[in-house]
Structure 1
Amino acid sequence: MADTMGNENTNIQESNEELPTDLDAISEEDKKKAEELKEEANLFFKNEDYTRAIDKYSEAIKLNPFVAAYYGNRSFAYLRTECFGYALSDASKALALDKNYLKAYYRRASANMALGKFKLALKDFEAVTKARPNDKDARMKYDECNKICKRLAFEKAIASDDGKCVADSIDINSLVIEASYDGPHLQDGKVTKEFVDDLLEAYKDQKKLPKKYVCQILIQAKKIFSQQESLVYIDVPNKSKFTICGDIHGQFYDLLNIFKMNGKPSEENPYLFNGDFVDRGSFSVECIMTLLSYKLLYPNHFFMARGNHESLTMNQMYGFEGEVKSKYSLQLCELFTEVFNWLPLAHCINKKILVMHGGLFSSDDVTLDDIAKTPRNRQPPENGIMCELLWSDPQPQNGRSPSKRGVGVQFGPDVTKRFLERNNLDYIVRSHEVKNEGYECMHDGKCITVFSAPNYCDSMGNKGAYINITGDNLKPKFTSYEAVPHPNVKPMAYANPFFGLF
Structure 2
Amino acid sequence: MENSTNENSLSNNCTSLKWNEKTEKIIEECSLFAKGEKELAALIKEKANGFFKEDQYDVAAELYTKCILLDSSMAHYYGNRSFAYLKKELYGLALADANKAIELDPTYVKAYYRRASANMALSKFNLALADYDRVRKMIPTNKDAQIKYQECNKIVRRLAFEKAISSDHTITSVADSIKLDDFVVEANYSGPHLEGEITADFMKELIKIFKDQKKLHIKYAYKILLSVREYLLKLPSLVDIQVPPKQKFTICGDVHGQFYDLCNIFELNGLPSEENPYLFNGDFVDRGSFSVETIFTLFGFKLLLPNHFYMSRGNHESDVMNKMYGFEGEVKSKYNSKMAELFTEIFNFLPLCHTINEKIFVCHGGLFAEDGITLEKIKKVNRNRQPPDEGIMCDLLWSDPQEFSGRSPSKRGVGIQFGPDVTEKFLKENGLIYVIRSHEVKPEGYESHHNGKCWTIFSAPNYCDTIGNKGAFINITGDCLFPPKLVSFESVPHPKVRAMAYASSMFSFLS
Residue aligning to 1:6: none
Does residue 249 of the first structure (1) align with residue 262 of the second (2)? no
Does residue 235 of the first structure (1) align with residue 233 of the second (2)? no
Q: 2:42 aligns with which of 35, 48, 65?
A: 35
Q: Do the aligned partners of 2:260 and 2:492 also contact (CA within 8 Å) in 1?
A: yes
Identity of matched residues, %: 61
1:17 Cα deviation after fit? 6.1
1:44 Cα deviation after fit? 2.2
Residue aligning to 1:80: 87
1:82-116 per-position Cα deviation (integer Å, ceiling 9, x unaligned): 10110001000111111111110011111112222
Distance 1:501 1:473, change over 3 A: closer
Q: 1:493 aligns with which of 492, 501, 507?
A: 501
Q: 2:419 aligns with which of 386, 404, 412?
A: 412
Alignment of 1:438-457 (within 5 A): 438-457=445-464
Which residue identity lines up with residue 14 of structure 1 in the other structure?
N
Q: Do the aligned partners of 1:451 and 1:465 also contact (CA within 8 Å) in 2?
A: yes
Q: Secondary structure at the match of 1:441?
A: strand
Q: Secondary structure at the match of 2:186?
A: coil
Residue aligning to 1:170: 178
Q: Secondary structure at the match of 1:444?
A: helix
Which residue identity lines up with residue 484 of structure 1 in the other structure?
V
1:500 Cα deviation after fit? 3.0
1:39-86 per-position Cα deviation (integer Å, ceiling 9, x unaligned): 332232222221111112212222322211111111011011110110
Residue aligning to 2:26: none
Distance 1:175 1:408, change over 3 A: same
Distance 1:78 1:453, change over 3 A: same
Q: 1:479 aligns with which of 454, 468, 487?
A: 487
Q: 2:320 aligns with which of 284, 288, 313?
A: 313
Q: Secondary structure at the match of 2:452?
A: coil
Distance 1:15 1:435, change over 3 A: closer
Q: Do the aligned partners of 1:274 and 1:307 also contact (CA within 8 Å) in 2?
A: yes
Q: Do the aligned partners of 1:172 and 1:215 also contact (CA within 8 Å) in 2?
A: yes
Does residue 181 of the first structure (1) align with residue 179 of the second (2)? no
Give me the CA root mean square deviation.
1.8
Give the Cα–Cα distance (whole angstroms) in 1 for the partners of residues 188 and 159 of structure 2.
Answer: 38
1:434 Cα deviation after fit? 0.7
Q: Do the aligned partners of 2:87 and 2:509 also contact (CA within 8 Å) in 1?
A: no
Give the Cα–Cα distance (whole angstroms) in 1 for the partners of residues 201 and 70 of structure 2.
Answer: 64
Which residue identity lines up with residue 240 of structure 1 in the other structure?
Q
Q: Do the aligned partners of 2:311 and 2:350 also contact (CA within 8 Å) in 1?
A: yes
Alignment of 1:349-360 (within 5 A): 349-360=356-367
Does residue 340 of the first structure (1) align with residue 338 of the second (2)? no
Alignment of 1:198-217 (within 5 A): 198-217=205-224
Q: Secondary structure at the match of 1:480?
A: strand
1:13 Cα deviation after fit? 4.5
1:120 Cα deviation after fit? 1.3
Q: TM-score, normalised by structure 2?
A: 0.91
Give the Cα–Cα distance (whole angstroms) in 2 for the partners of residues 46 and 13 of structure 1.
Answer: 24
Does residue 458 of the first structure (1) align with residue 456 of the second (2)? no
1:231 Cα deviation after fit? 0.4
Does residue 224 of the first structure (1) align with residue 255 of the second (2)? no
Q: Do the aligned partners of 2:314 and 2:397 also contact (CA within 8 Å) in 1?
A: yes
Residue aligning to 1:295: 302
Give the Cα–Cα distance (whole angstroms) in 1 for the partners of residues 59 and 256 of structure 2.
Answer: 25
Q: Do the aligned partners of 1:469 and 1:476 also contact (CA within 8 Å) in 2?
A: yes
Q: Do the aligned partners of 1:279 and 1:309 also contact (CA within 8 Å) in 2?
A: yes
Q: Do the aligned partners of 2:85 and 2:91 also contact (CA within 8 Å) in 1?
A: yes
Residue aligning to 1:14: 12
Give the Cα–Cα distance (whole angstroms) in 1 for the partners of residues 44 and 170 of structure 2.
Answer: 59
1:302-357 per-position Cα deviation (integer Å, ceiling 9, x unaligned): 00000000000111111111111111111111111111000000000011110000
Give the Cα–Cα distance (whole angstroms) in 2 for the partners of residues 353 and 12 of structure 1.
Answer: 31
1:240-280 per-position Cα deviation (integer Å, ceiling 9, x unaligned): 10000000111101000000100000000000000000111
1:459 Cα deviation after fit? 0.6
Q: Secondary structure at the match of 2:128?
A: helix
Q: Do the aligned partners of 1:282 and 1:493 also contact (CA within 8 Å) in 2?
A: yes
Structure 2: state its 5+ residue gaps.
1-8, 17-34
Alignment of 1:246-395 (within 5 A): 246-395=253-402
Give the Cα–Cα distance (whole angstroms) in 2 for the partners of residues 16 and 118 of structure 1.
Answer: 26
Q: Secondary structure at the match of 2:102?
A: helix
Q: TM-score, normalised by structure 1?
A: 0.93
Which residue identity lines up with residue 442 of structure 1 in the other structure?
H
1:179-231 per-position Cα deviation (integer Å, ceiling 9, x unaligned): 2112111142x211111111111111111111111111111111111111100
Give the Cα–Cα distance (whole angstroms) in 2 for the partners of residues 431 and 14 of structure 1.
Answer: 25
1:36 Cα deviation after fit? 2.9
Distance 1:464 1:237, change over 3 A: same
Q: Do the aligned partners of 1:242 and 1:269 also contact (CA within 8 Å) in 2?
A: yes
1:143 Cα deviation after fit? 2.2
Give the Cα–Cα distance (whole angstroms) in 2 for the partners of residues 479 and 128 of structure 1.
Answer: 48
Give the Cα–Cα distance (whole angstroms) in 1 for the partners of residues 417 and 324 of structure 2.
Answer: 24
Q: Secondary structure at the match of 2:141?
A: coil
Give the Cα–Cα distance (whole angstroms) in 2 for the partners of residues 49 and 454 of structure 1.
Answer: 15
Give the Cα–Cα distance (whole angstroms) in 2 for the partners of residues 13 and 469 of structure 1.
Answer: 39
Q: How many residue pairs get matched?
A: 482
